[in-house]
Structure 1
Amino acid sequence: MTTTKTPNTQLAEWLARAGLSNAELARRVKAAAHQAGHPQVAPDATAVRRWLQGNQPRRPIPGIVADIVSDAVGYRVTSADLGLGESHAEDRSLLYNRDWVVTVETVSDLGRADVDRRRFLAAAPFAAVAATGPSRDWLLATLDQEPEPGPRVRLEDVAAVKNMFSEFQRVDIFQGGGSGRLILAAYMNVHVYPLLRRPQAEDVRQALCEAAAEQTYLLGWMAYDNGEHGTAQRYLIQSLRLAEESRNVPLGAHVLAGMADQATLLGHPEEGLRLAQSGRHGLRGSSAAALADLWALEGRALAAMGDKAAATRAVTQSEAAAEQVHPGEEPEWALFIDPAYLHGEHAMTLRDIGDHSGAAEHAKRSIDHARQQKRARRGALSQAALASTHLQKRDLEQAYAAGLRTLSLASKVKSSRAVEAVADLQRRMEPFGRSRLVADFAERARVLTAA
C-alpha cells in the first residue's frame, strides 16, 4: 500500500511571501550550510520540490531554511511555522516568548543543547532579524512598568547564584570568554535553571530571575567573545526575557548593549544602532554606567555606518554619562564599564571615522588602565586600535611595536575577539607591501591564530 504524503502548504505559502523560488532557496541553503560547516548539505530545486510535496529534510536543513525565510521577510520564522518539524532549542531560543513557562523551558533546553549537542548549536548562524522583536517587546514592557518600592529580597540560593556570577565574570574579564564557559553552562543547567521551575513568592521570583538573567547574559557574552555567535545570540535573547521578568530595567538595557555590540561587529551596524537606542530609551537614566556603555556602542555603530558627526556626538554623550558613574552605586555586572573599557571603545569609534589623534589618545588611556588592572583582553584590543592609528599616519614602525604588544596580550587570553583584532591589524598592514616588519608580524600572527 502506497502512503500519500501531505503537501507542505505552509512552506509553499512562506516561500511565496518571501519571494523565493525553489532554485533560489536551494542555492541559499547550500551556501548557508557550507558557511556553517556542513559541506554535505547541497540541495537542488528538485529537493525543494520534494519538501513541498511533504518530505521532511534532515537537520540542519530545517533551521537553515528558517533563517533564510526569516531574513527574507524581516522577522523571525521557525521551522515549525514552515511545516518542517518541531522547532529545536537553537530555533526556539531565538524567540522572545511572552509565556513565562515556555521561556523557562526554552532557556533550560538551550543550556542542555549547549552542553550536550554543541556540534549543532556551534554551527547555528547569527540571525540579524531575530533581535527586532525582542528589543521591541522589551522596550514596550519596560515603558509599561512602574518601579516598586522596598528592598530586594535576597534568599540564600539567589545569593549563591550571585556569588557564582562574580566568580565567572572575573574569569571572563581576565582570561577571556573561552575559559570556563561550558563550566558555567553546566552550573546553570544543574543549579540555576531548575530553580526557575519552582513556585516562588513574587519578590523572590523577581530576585531569582534577575540572578538568572545576569548569568545567562554572561553565558551569551562569553560565547560572543569566543566567536560562537549563534549560541551567543540565543542566550542574549533569553537573558533579555529573564531581565524583563525581574523588572530590572538597567539589566535589560545592559543585555541590549551586548546585542548591539554583537550586531555591529558582525556587519549589521544599523541593527546595532537600533538595539543601543532601544536600550537607552528604556533605561530612562537609571544607571549611569549602562548609559555610558549604550552611548559608546551607539557611537561604534554610527562610525561603522560612516556618520562621523553623530558618532562624535555619541562619544561625547558617553563621556558625560561616565562622569556621573559612582561605582559603589552600580550593579556588579556594570563593573567592567570603566575607563579601560570606555576609552577602548571610543578609540575604535574615532579610528573608524578617521580621527587619528583622538583615537590614539583614548587608546593610550585605555591601555594604561588595562595595564594597571592586568586586563590582557582589553589591553590587546586597545593596543590594536593604537597600532591602527599609527598605520593611518603611515608610521609602520610604531604600528609594528604596538602590534607586538597586541600579540603578547592576545596570547594570554582565550578570546576570539583578541585574535580577530590581531587578524584585522594584519590586514591593515598589507598595503605596506613586502616590508620586513609586515612579514614578521604576519608570521607571528599566523602562529597565534594557529594556536
Structure 2
Amino acid sequence: MAERNTALETLIEQARMSWAGLAKRINALGADEGEALRYDYTAVGRWVKQSQKPRGITPILICRALGEKLGREIRPAEIGMEAAESIAARSLHYSPDPLITLDTIHDLGDAHSTGDFAAPFILAALAAPSRDWLLATFEEVSSDRGPRAIGMHQVAGIRDMFGLFQEMDVMRGGGHARAALVNYMNTTVIPLIRRQHQPDVQAALYDAAAEQAYLIGWMAYDDGEHGLAQRYLIQALRLSQAAGNRVLGAHVLAGMSDQANLLGHSHEAVALARAGLHGISPDDSPACYSDLSILEARALARLGDAKGTTRAIIRAEQNFETIDPSNEPEWARFIDRAYFYGEAAYCFRDLSQPDEIDRFAELSIQECRAQRRARRGSLSQAAVAAACVQRNEIEAAAHHANTVVRLTTTVNSSRSLHAVADLQRTLQPHSTLPAVQDFNRQASQLLGFAA
C-alpha cells in the first residue's frame, strides 16, 4: 500500500485549504496556462492518501496555489512531487532569485532555437510582475552608483553589443538579428554574470543583461511571437530589479503595455503604463516618462477615452520636450521624434481625428526619411492612409498604402506586415477602384511571400 504524502497534507493544512478548494484553485491556474483541468477533491485525496503524482504542470500549479496562501514560494520537492516545470510556465514567474531568472532566460533561448517552444500570450500573467516590481521600487533605497560602465571593460563591451543589436532592430526589424542576440546572451552574458563579482560590477552586469533580455523580448514582439516576447519581458523586469534600475524596469513595463494594447488588452495596457509612471518620476528619465505617457494615451484611445487620451498626450509632450539625450541611457535613443509623433498619430487614428493624425504622422515621416528608418516610416504612412480613409479620400489612401508596402519589403517586422493587412481590410469596401486594386496586388504579393 502506498505511503501517505504527509508533506503535501501538512502544507494543505498550513494553508487552511480544503481539498475541494485546492482543486478549484488548481483548475483556475491551469486555465491561465491554457490547460483545461477538471480536478476535484477526490483527485487531491489520491495525491495525499496514495501519494499519486499528477502529470504535466499540475505539481507546479499545486505549489503555486499553496504558495499564494502561505505567502512564499513552494517547490515541488516540498510537496513530495519532483517535477520539471515547463519553460513556458516557468518563464511567466517573477522569481525572488535573479539567478533563477538567468537560468530561465537561458532555457528560453535554448527552447526556441531548437523549435521546442510554443506558448500563448497569457493575459493573467501581466499583473503579478508589475505589482512585484512596483513594490520593490518602493522598498529600495536610492543608489548613488552613477555611471557603471566606466572602467568595466566587459560590461562596456556588452553594452556596445546592445547598441549594435538595437540599431539593427530599429532599422531592419525584430526578425533580422534576434537569433544572434539570443546566442550572444546565452554564450557570453549569462556565463559572465554567474561568476563572482564585486557588488557594483554585479549590479552593472544585471543591468546590461536586463537590457538585452528586454531587447530579445521586443524583437520577438515585433516578429509576432507574442508568447515568447511576454516571457522575456517578465524576466527582463526581474533583472532590472536585481540591478536596482527603476528606470529600466519602467521601460520594460512600457514594452509590456505596448504589447498588451496591440493584442487588444487595453485596460491591462493602461495599468502597466501607469505602474511604470508610479515607479519613476519625470526627472529620472524624461524619455521613459514620456514613452509611458504616450503608451497610456494609446491604450486610452483604443478604449475611446478622448479626454484621458488628450491629458496623457499633453503630459507626454511636455516631458518629451525636456529630453536631453546625453543624460539618457542607450535604450532611450530611439524614443525620438519619429517614434513619439508616430505613436501620437495612432492615438488620433483610434479616435477618428484625421487632421490630428496628419499633423503628427507627417512630423514622424519627416524624421523617418532623414534617418532612413523604414519600419517606423511604414507605420506612420499607414496612419496617414487611415486619415485619408476617414476623410473618404480613397485614392490618396491607396497611394500612402502603396508606400507602406514598399517600406515593409525592406524590413523583417510583423507589425509592418500587420499594418499592410489592416489597410487591406480598411480599403476592402473600395476594392473596385483602380488605385485600390493596384495596392491589393502589391499587398497580396508581399503578404503571400511573407507567409
Deviation at 1:53, TM superposition (A): 7.0
Equivalent position to 2:350, from 352, 363, 384 = 352
> 1:12 touches 1:52 (CA, 8 Å); kept in 2?
no
Equivalent position to 1:193, from 190, 193, 202 = 190
Would the alpha carbon gap of residues 207 and 89 (structure 1) be closer, same or farther in structure 2, given more than 3 Å must change? same
Equivalent position to 1:16, from 17, 24, 30 = 24
Would the alpha carbon gap of residues 397 and 50 (structure 1) be closer, same or farther in structure 2, given more than 3 Å must change? farther
SS at match of 2:126: helix
Paired positions, count: 422
> 1:243 touches 1:252 (CA, 8 Å); kept in 2?
yes
Aligned to 2:388: 390
- The residue type paired with residue 273 of structure 1 is V
Matches within 5 A, 1:337-376: 337-376=335-374
CA distance in 2, matches of 1:65, 1:359: 47
CA distance in 2, matches of 1:420, 1:273: 22
CA distance in 2, matches of 1:78, 1:400: 57
CA distance in 1, matches of 2:44, 2:369: 57
Identity of aligned residues (%): 43
Deviation at 1:328, TM superposition (A): 1.6
Equivalent position to 1:427, from 425, 428, 434 = 425
Would the alpha carbon gap of residues 45 and 245 (structure 1) be closer, same or farther in structure 2, given more than 3 Å must change? closer
Greater shift in the superposed pair: 132-141 or 218-227: 132-141
- The residue type paired with residue 155 of structure 1 is M
> 2:60 touches 2:85 (CA, 8 Å); kept in 1?
no
Equivalent position to 1:162, from 155, 159, 163 = 159
> 1:96 touches 1:238 (CA, 8 Å); kept in 2?
yes
Greater shift in the superposed pair: 437-446 or 337-346: 437-446
Deviation at 1:32, TM superposition (A): 5.8
CA distance in 1, matches of 2:183, 2:343: 32
> 1:93 touches 1:234 (CA, 8 Å); kept in 2?
yes
- Consecutive unaligned residues of structure 2, counting only runs of 5 or more, are 13-18, 66-72
> 1:236 touches 1:255 (CA, 8 Å); kept in 2?
yes
Greater shift in the superposed pair: 98-107 or 164-173: 98-107
> 1:166 touches 1:332 (CA, 8 Å); kept in 2?
yes
Deviation at 1:148, TM superposition (A): 1.9
CA distance in 1, matches of 2:279, 2:38: 46
The answer to whether residue 443 in structure 2 is matched with residue 445 in structure 1 is: yes
> 1:63 touches 1:78 (CA, 8 Å); kept in 2?
no
Deviation at 1:112, TM superposition (A): 2.2
CA distance in 1, matches of 2:302, 2:208: 34
> 2:26 touches 2:58 (CA, 8 Å); kept in 1?
no
> 1:57 touches 1:84 (CA, 8 Å); kept in 2?
no
CA deviation vs aligned residue, 1:393-427 (integer Å, no higher than 9, x gap): 11101100000000000110000000001111111
Would the alpha carbon gap of residues 113 and 150 (structure 1) be closer, same or farther in structure 2, given more than 3 Å must change? same
CA distance in 1, matches of 2:96, 2:60: 25
After superposition, the CA RMSD in angstroms is: 3.4
Aligned to 2:324: 326
SS at match of 2:121: coil
CA distance in 2, matches of 1:44, 1:243: 35
Deviation at 1:346, TM superposition (A): 0.3
Would the alpha carbon gap of residues 140 and 51 (structure 1) be closer, same or farther in structure 2, given more than 3 Å must change? closer
> 2:27 touches 2:37 (CA, 8 Å); kept in 1?
no
TM-score scaled by length of structure 2: 0.84
Aligned to 1:335: 333
> 2:220 touches 2:229 (CA, 8 Å); kept in 1?
yes
Aligned to 2:201: 204
Aligned to 1:219: 216
Would the alpha carbon gap of residues 5 and 114 (structure 1) be closer, same or farther in structure 2, given more than 3 Å must change? farther
Equivalent position to 2:94, from 93, 96, 100 = 96
- The residue type paired with residue 212 of structure 2 is Q
Deviation at 1:104, TM superposition (A): 2.6
Greater shift in the superposed pair: 135-144 or 376-385: 135-144
